């Protein structure tokens, strides 16, 4: 099924449609706007794994709905066997992608909620899981809006902003994280311009961020990842804003591969490097970035573009999808609770602990 959205900020990557989930399949963008209906947990696992739905907050939301799809047809049994099934499905969904903590954050929330209501009937618990998935979804929309508004104190008029990967409405419930700051700056007529990194190898920048920003009418240029240094050296970047898939207790954070290089470049050129993050992406259970699992993906993502080979057959490939940026390269986190500056160890715990 195909339709065209009108309001750019209303990009909805996930929607609950009474009996099933409808996702905007991001693998077809930008050439086709294809929505697909997901009716079982296996299809949801596949959609997350294949990046049909992607971006840390969006995969948390998708996993929560996926849990409901997985349990809704379970037979009425006792609580103990229902809980075993919930845990089994949570483990299965959490295995779809390892780096973004939002996935396990959403699933933990569901597990804790049903455990806390174990005296209820199985149908009531099933209903509770659906309601919680919808709450997680709605909360994310509000959180992303707050991130966008809170970030405004860091964006001077006329800013040239560089961003990486896709952190917009497609990657979240609505608005995005880093892109929410950009959307709101544009809405406040700050006369901004955005440099969009194409984001090799899966091109989330060129396929998705460029698509979102063009729909919103925000002035931008697409550049290849390797152009960032030249842009900074020639004075064309005032600040960098990226999203994140997991923030450790000390402020180290993982984001799309290539983010670390940008942070090093920004430090060298004295350019502020901001990370937009919701609380759901902060993992206070790990002390630093070395504990963040880095997803490695299929070699063909590097050796092909579309259906064309761009490397010799059987070449050995290393394809980590994320990298870790150490806390000392980060100027501040932009969150729904406000701006968090160093000392991150103390300030993240004080805000989210």
Q: Which residues are catalytic?
A: 245
Q: How far apart are the two ends of the chain, measured CA to CA in Å? A: 43
CA–CA separation, 60 vs 75, rounded Å? 26
Number of residues that bind ligand MRU (CB under 6 A): 19
Q: CB neighbours (10 Å) of residue 346? A: 13
Give me 257's structure tokens.
Answer: 């591969």
Query: Rg (Cα) of the chain, in Å, rounded?
Result: 20
Q: Which stretch binds ligand MRU (CB under 6 A): 69-77, 115-123, 238-246, 310-318?
A: 238-246
Q: How far is the CB of 56 from ligand MRU (least distance, A)?
A: 4
Residues 95-134: x where in contact with ligand MRU by CB under 6 A, - otherwise, as a string = -----x----------------------------------
Q: How far is the CB of 167 from ligand MRU (least distance, A)?
A: 4
Q: How far is the CB of 89 from ligand MRU (least distance, A)?
A: 21
Task: Assess 335 for contact with ligand MRU (CB under 6 A).
Answer: no
Residue whose beta carbon is closest to ligand MRU: 243
- Spell out a b/e string for 209-236, using b for 16 or more CB atoms within 10 Å of the CB, else e: bbbbbebbebebebbebebbbebbeeeb
Transcribe 295-352 into DSSP letters.
PB--THHHHEETTEE-S-TT-----BSEEEE-GGG--EEEETTEEE-S-HHHHHHHHH
Q: Between 151 and 243, whose beta carbon lies closer to ligand MRU?
A: 243
Task: Assess 210 for contact with ligand MRU (CB under 6 A).
Answer: no
Instruction: Tell me which residues in 169-188 interact with ligand MRU (CB under 6 A).
Output: 171-172, 176-177
DSSP state of 120: S
Tell me which of 54, 111, 184, 200 binds ligand MRU, using CB under 6 A.
54
Collapsed DSSP state (helix, strand, coil) of residue 125: helix
Q: Between 28 and 79, whose beta carbon lies closer to ligand MRU?
A: 28
Task: Assess 255 for contact with ligand MRU (CB under 6 A).
Answer: yes
Give me 290's structure tokens.
Answer: 């070395």
Tell me which H or E stretch contains 220. strand 220-223
Q: How far is the CB of 99 from ligand MRU (least distance, A)?
A: 8
Task: Assess 192 for contact with ligand MRU (CB under 6 A).
Answer: no
Q: Between 215 and 256, whose beta carbon lies closer to ligand MRU?
A: 256
DSSP state of 163: E
Q: Which stretch binds ligand MRU (CB under 6 A): 31-39, 47-55, 147-155, 229-237?
A: 47-55
List contacts with ligand MRU (CB under 6 A).
Answer: 51, 54-57, 100, 165, 167, 171-172, 176-177, 204, 243-245, 255-256, 321
């Amino acid at each position: 099924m195909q339709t065209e959205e009108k309001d750019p900020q209303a990009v909805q990557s996930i929607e609950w449609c009474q009996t099933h989930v409808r996702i905007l399949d991001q693998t077809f963008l930008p050439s086709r706007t294809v929505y697909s209906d997901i009716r079982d947990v296996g299809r949801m696992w596949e959609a997350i794994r294949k990046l049909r739905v992607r971006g840390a907050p969006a995969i948390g939301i998708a996993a929560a709905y996926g849990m409901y799809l997985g349990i809704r047809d379970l037979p009425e049994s006792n609580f103990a066997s229902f809980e075993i099934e919930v845990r089994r499905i949570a483990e299965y969904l959490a295995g779809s992608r390892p780096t973004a903590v939002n996935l396990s954050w959403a699933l933990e929330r569901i597990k804790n909620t049903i455990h806390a209501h174990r005296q209820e009937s199985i149908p009531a618990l099933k209903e509770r899981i659906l309601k919680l998935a919808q709450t997680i979804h709605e909360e994310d929309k509000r959180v992303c809006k707050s991130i966008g508004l809170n970030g405004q104190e860091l964006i001077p008029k006329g800013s040239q902003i560089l961003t990486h990967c896709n952190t917009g409405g497609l990657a979240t419930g609505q608005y995005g994280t880093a892109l929410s700051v950009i959307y709101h700056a544009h809405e406040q007529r700050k006369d901004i311009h955005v440099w969009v990194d194409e984001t090799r190898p899966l091109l989330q920048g060129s396929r998705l961020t460029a698509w979102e920003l063009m729909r919103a009418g925000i002035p931008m240029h697409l550049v290849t990842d390797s152009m960032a240094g030249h842009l900074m050296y020639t004075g064309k970047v005032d600040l960098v804003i990226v999203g994140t898939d997991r923030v450790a207790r000390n402020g180290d954070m993982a984001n799309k591969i290539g983010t670390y290089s940008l942070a090093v470049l920004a430090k060298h050129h004295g350019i502020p490097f901001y990370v937009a993050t919701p609380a759901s992406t902060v993992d206070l259970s790990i002390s630093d970035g070395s504990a963040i699992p880095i997803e490695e993906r299929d070699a063909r993502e590097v050796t092909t573009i579309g259906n064309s080979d761009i490397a010799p057959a059987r070449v050995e490939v290393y394809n980590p999808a994320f990298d870790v940026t150490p806390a000392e390269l980060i100027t501040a986190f932009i969150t729904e609770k406000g701006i968090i500056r160093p000392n991150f160890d103390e300030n993240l715990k004080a805000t989210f602990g």
